[in-house]
Amino acid sequence: MMSEFKAFAMKGNVVDLAIGVIIGAAFSKIVTSFIEDVITPLLLKPALEAANLTKLEELTVFGSVKYGLFLSAVINFIIVAFVLFLVIKGINASRKKEAETPAAPPAPTNEEKLLMEIRDALKNRP
């Protein structure tokens, strides 16, 4: 049962899917941070404040841009991607070792045996 589970878990499709989900989640944080911490304070918030004429004089465009949070999300993504790279490199190395062990050549079929007998008989013919 453990060998079946190992074969299932180490299949390329399962590993690729897991990596896609993890990378997608990490990249989602970058996009969310970019929208919430950079784009919204620069574009949306000033527009909404400008629409309220009573607070027009208090409008600050660059005061609330949280570019540090965005850079933190990018760095976290790079770390996650690098760790996944190391994991995949290890998985590929173990697969390569398994692939390097030569498989026994298949036994000749009955047809091949018969052809070999005919060949040998023709060689021994005077």
For the stretch 62-78, pLDDT in tens is 566 777 777 888 888 88
Q: Which of 12-16, 21-25, 116-120, 121-125 has the lowest mean pLDDT?
A: 12-16
Q: In this model, does residue 16 exceed pLDDT 60?
A: yes
Distance CA(84)–CA(115), nearest Å, equals 52
Q: In this model, does residue 41 exceed pLDDT 80?
A: no
Amino acid symbol at 115 = L
Query: Could you list the residue range(s) of the whole structural domain that residue 59 is in?
Result: 2-123
pTM here? 0.48
- How many domains does the chain fold into? 1
Mean pLDDT of 30-43: 79
Residue 24: both structure tokens together: 């997608």
Most confident of 26-35, 87-96, 115-124: 115-124
Torsion angle of C-alpha atoms 23, 29, 32, 38, degrees rounded to 10: -120
Q: Residue 120: CA atoms inside 13 Å, Cβ hemisphere, count?
A: 6
Distance CA(84)–CA(81), nearest Å, equals 5
What distance, in Å, lies between the first and last C-alpha atoms of the chain? 59
Q: In this model, does residue 59 exceed pLDDT 50?
A: no
